[in-house]
Chains A and B, each alone.
Chain A
Amino acid sequence: MTYFSVLDLEQPKATDVSRPGFLWDLNLNQIIDALQLQSPGYDILKMYYRFPIEEACTNYRREVYRDIKQSEIYECLSAFSRQMRGAADAAGSRDTVKSNLQRSAWHVSAAHGYCTAVSSLQAALSESDCRSEGLRKLSEYLSSYTEQESFQRCREEAASIQELLEDFHLILEIEDNKVVITAGKRSGAYARRLGYGEGTKGLTSFSGVPGMSPLEEAVFEAYRKKNPEIFDRVESFAEHYPFYADGTILQLEQEIQYYLAFYRFEMKMKEQGFSFCTPEKASDRDMEAQGLYDLALACVNCAKEKPVVSNDFVYRQGERFFVVGGPNQGGKTTFARSMGQLVYFAGMGLDVPAERARIPYFAALLTHFSAEESLGSGKGKLKEELTRLAPMMKEEAEGAFVIINELFTTAAHYDGCVMGKKVLTHFMERGCMGVYVTHLRELGDSAEGVAPLTAMLDGSRERKRTYKISREHMEGVGYAEDIVNKYGLTYQELHRRLTENREGWH
């Protein structure tokens, strides 16, 4: 059978699964961890670690994701995963118990869950409005699979046994150590006396272990001696249908988690007021975004109910690199990270954290962030930086997006400028685009194709940080904080404070 996947057009090579270093620099690992939480029980990390992918594949995924954002398609895939998890759990329970009767009963549940999941997905997809190649192929595959006779027989038998079992109750009448067992149903009179309503569950499984407890074993044995039919039927199903699941379907179940997790995450963040958009395709060297923000920071701040500052940018005609300067803690690094996240998610065929974005295809994403305050001497740090930079520069970086954060901080000012300029020129010559965060003002106009940006302070006397990045040349701004009156207790100041306060009193 030919290879089929909703993630890829061709079978990816085993070597493709790597963990690119930029994941950490861009805090994407935090986002991916948050995504993983959206699909518990599945391993989605592997799928998110694979980057970059072919341009055709990016487009293939983007179409699939567009389909999944239709609520009926999302719902049916989500329900499918849920049912498949249920079936897998039942199979898991089967593998933990010893008694043949119990194993068989779990096997019936697992097979029943699987068959139901597959049939419902097939029915739902064939009626839905899938546009993407990926989901259309999935729908076709399911149709031909469910038409097979072996599948249908297995499904019917499992369903009919499951139905019997669901209606089957044992009544235990226990007095001291004597137990009388009958079949039937009672009304739960005592539970009602306790104030438990109709809907409330009774005691869940007895004795807390998955296998049969000695008491249960004795109960089933005593009952089966006189009423063997239903138990025999359960055991014979397990013998007839030892294997029921299809490998491709199991693989597809994993793959759709890639989309479902992201969609759930996107919905959750949207509820909190964060924007997402599908990036528009752009031709070469044409890139812009509005309302772009750092998604990892958003996740963190969301919990603290802190707002996140968003930024707009556009690479004008002929511009390749932004050089971002400004005060420390002014939002430069955050801005650079958000650009990287934009490139990553766009390349993965997913939505991006912005209000609007236009972005071309990049064949690679390269980042260089200074390592955590290194313990060594200044010289050691520069050496360490250059050691990490060297492979990036040797790499065939044609058409990559490059993010450099605070390079050469420990080098002499002049040296830093010279090296910085060389690095910029190197990447631009190879048709790369990118962001370069630096404290070296001179780099802002060091070469053609470089555009200077600055992290802004507000107009107030305290020079508060706004975390806005704006197209302004770095000026030598003073950040001195001026406390004229420590406690603000002059009459004028008090008068102002109290007048302001009073508005809040009433």
Chain B
Amino acid sequence: MKVRLLYPDREWKYTGAYYDPESIVKDLGLSVLFQVSSRSQEPKKGTVQRADEADRHLGEVLKLVMTVPLTTREEICYRQEILQDCMENADFIESLYSISRDMTFRWEALGKQQMDKPGSRDKSANLLSQIEILHLFVNTLSRIKNLCRRYGMLRSRGLMAFCHRLEEEFGEEQEGKIRGILSDLIFYCDGQEEYSLEGSGRKRESISRMVLDCSVAEGMKLGEISLEEVSTVERKLRRRRNERTLRERITTAFAQEPTLILKNVEQLEDLKKLNEQVTAYIMDSFRPMMEELKCFFEELYIQTAFYQACNNLFTRCRHLHIPLCFPKAGDREELHFQGLMEFCMAIYRGQRPVGNDCDGDGKKLLVVTGANQGGKSTFLRSIGIAQIMLQCGMPVCAEAFTSGIFPHLFTHFTRREDSAMNSGRLDEELGRIDGIIRHLGDGSMVLLNESFATTTEEEGSVIADDVIRAMVEAGVKVLTVTHLLAFARKMYERQLPEAAFLTAQRKEDGTRTFKMIAGAPELTSFGLDLYEELIGT
């Protein structure tokens, strides 16, 4: 059975992630999202949520899913639809996730690990836990099925198909069959310590009944045993075993067929082994199903966690009045947005930041220059975050956002303050650039923030010019914030139609608006302003 809530045609697998996801997370400051998503955002009235109540699984899953980009418009729509559904039916996803989480904990308590390496515990304990796990599987599937039946209002293809599959693949008949066989095996669970007590006459609730067909060709051993009948019979009268012997003796003597009453300890020990073998054989028949369900539940726990994590984030946004919209996955030439905000900062600070507009359609290179402290890096990050969110099906923090799909997204953020000039650092920086170059592919976007700052401006400009020009010519979309004005001017003077130049807005009086506007790069980065502001003329 398939979950398929993350992709229309496959299950989750951590593969095809962005190159160097850790850098992306760090550069874009995504960690705050993972933290916030780990907590339920609707605490019960009058209680304060403690730190240890955070469900770290949610944040971990969100991180993994966000760092693996979707690569087609269809996949993005598929996830967006489900998310939309989850926003409208938050109870549903919450219940589904909590069933799945609950089940996972109980499963672990029953020995989830042992499923992968049978034989690591003693055989009968293992067998018992197999039976209990199967019970758990069946009961959990029932619960999920009932949940789905209560939510007829789900509209997304993903969730509807999920509910439908449950009915199809785990129908009443299938469920009844499994429950029937499980009840035949009650004798095994009941009789676990029975014979070890040397037939001391302990009471039992149930006894086994089996009919076996055994071949003897292999050296007079009972081999190739095929099962004709297995069942558990309720014992109505509780009696001591030694009270029965006389009647049994009579039965044996007068029986037409050779009949045997097992009495001595070895024979009973043997019978117990046979019971165990038969039980193991029966449980073996469930192995493919259990394997499948194992994957199903593991997947379910991950996939529902993603939606639950998103729900937690959206709830937080609602509380903070941060607007969200589902972005549009357009062509690679497209990039335009209105009121785009830096999502992570908004969540972190708990307030609405400045929104930016931009029309970058048809541009391959976006160069942002301008005043320090003018919001350039924030602007670049806001695009990066929105791009990542778009590519994992999430809504973005804007009034509207359209961009292409870039499965190869790279960030290279240098903070000016740590750009000490020494050759070791340049070596390291260029090594990272080289790594990016090696991993470029069809659909690449590179975000450079203050790159090539580990050398002089003159040298840095030459390297930047070489690297960026080569990338743009190869069809890579490059968004760069730079202080390398020689480079920016040179680019500007080339008057490339595919290049756009933005600069941090500065009013006549020198105040900053934190908005980016189109404009030619200036020769000064207004550091003087800052100097003036902090030190004075």
* Contacts from A to B (Cβ < 8 Å): 90, 93-94, 97, 99, 101-102, 105-106, 109, 162, 165-166, 168-182, 185-191, 193-196, 201-207, 210, 212-216, 218-220, 222-223, 225-227, 234, 486-491, 494-495, 497-499, 501-502, 505-506
Contact = CB atoms under 8 A, between A and B. Distances in A.
A212 B181 CA distance: 30
Contacts of B427: 486
Instruction: Pick the 3 closest A-B CB pairs, nearest first.
Output: A215-B270, A202-B226, A494-B470
Given A175-B210, A178-B259, A502-B474, 18 more contacts: A166-B215, A171-B214, A172-B214, A172-B222, A181-B260, A186-B228, A188-B226, A191-B226, A191-B227, A193-B177, A196-B285, A207-B270, A214-B266, A222-B258, A223-B258, A494-B466, A498-B473, A502-B475
A222 B217 contact: no
A168 B465 CA distance: 88
Interface stretch (B2-10, B87-95, B432-440): B432-440
B268 interface: yes
Given A174-B208, A186-B228, A489-B466, A206 B221 contact: yes
A333 B529 CA distance: 72
B259 A177 contact: no
B261 A178 contact: yes
B469 interface: yes
Contacts of B214: 169-172, 206
Contact of B220 (A101, A227, A489, A501): A101
Contact of A505 (B221, B430, B441): B441
B276 to A, nearest CB: 10
A489 B273 contact: no
Contacts of B258: 180-182, 222-223, 225-227
A388 to B, nearest CB: 49
A187 B431 contact: no
A180 B215 CA distance: 16
A498 B437 contact: yes
B219 A93 contact: yes
A190 to B, nearest CB: 4
A206 B227 contact: no
Contacts of A212: 220-221
B248 interface: yes
Interface of B: 177, 181, 207-230, 233, 241, 248, 251, 255, 257-264, 266-271, 273-274, 277-278, 281-282, 285, 427, 430-431, 433-434, 437, 440-442, 463, 465-467, 469-471, 473-475
9 contacts: A109-B218, A166-B217, A176-B208, A177-B261, A180-B255, A187-B228, A188-B213, A203-B224, A204-B224
B473 A495 contact: yes
B208 A188 contact: no
Which interface residue of A101, A172, A186 has the most chain B CB atoms within 10 A? A172
Given A222-B258, A491-B469, A205 B221 contact: yes
A194 B279 CA distance: 12
Given A180-B257, A218-B267, A169 B211 contact: no
Most buried by A among B228, B434, B467, B475: B228
A216 B264 CA distance: 13
Contacts of A93: 219
Contacts of B471: 494, 498
Contact of A171 (B212, B273, B278): B212
A222 B227 contact: no
Nearest to A173: B211
A194 B282 contact: yes
A175 B221 contact: no
A196 to B, nearest CB: 6
A207 B274 contact: yes
B260 A219 contact: yes
A505 B266 CA distance: 70
Contacts of B474: 495, 498-499, 501-502
A97 B210 CA distance: 28
A91 B444 CA distance: 69
Given A213-B270, A218-B267, A494 B437 contact: yes
B271 A215 contact: yes
Nearest to B270: A215
Contacts of B437: 489, 494, 497-498
A187 B213 CA distance: 8
Contacts of B440: 498, 501, 505
B274 A179 contact: no
A201 B224 contact: yes
B259 A180 contact: yes
A187 B229 CA distance: 10
A205 B211 contact: no
B228 A215 contact: no
Contacts of A499: 474
Contacts of A491: 465-466, 469-470
A177 B470 contact: no
B213 to A, nearest CB: 4
Contacts of A215: 262, 267, 270-271, 274
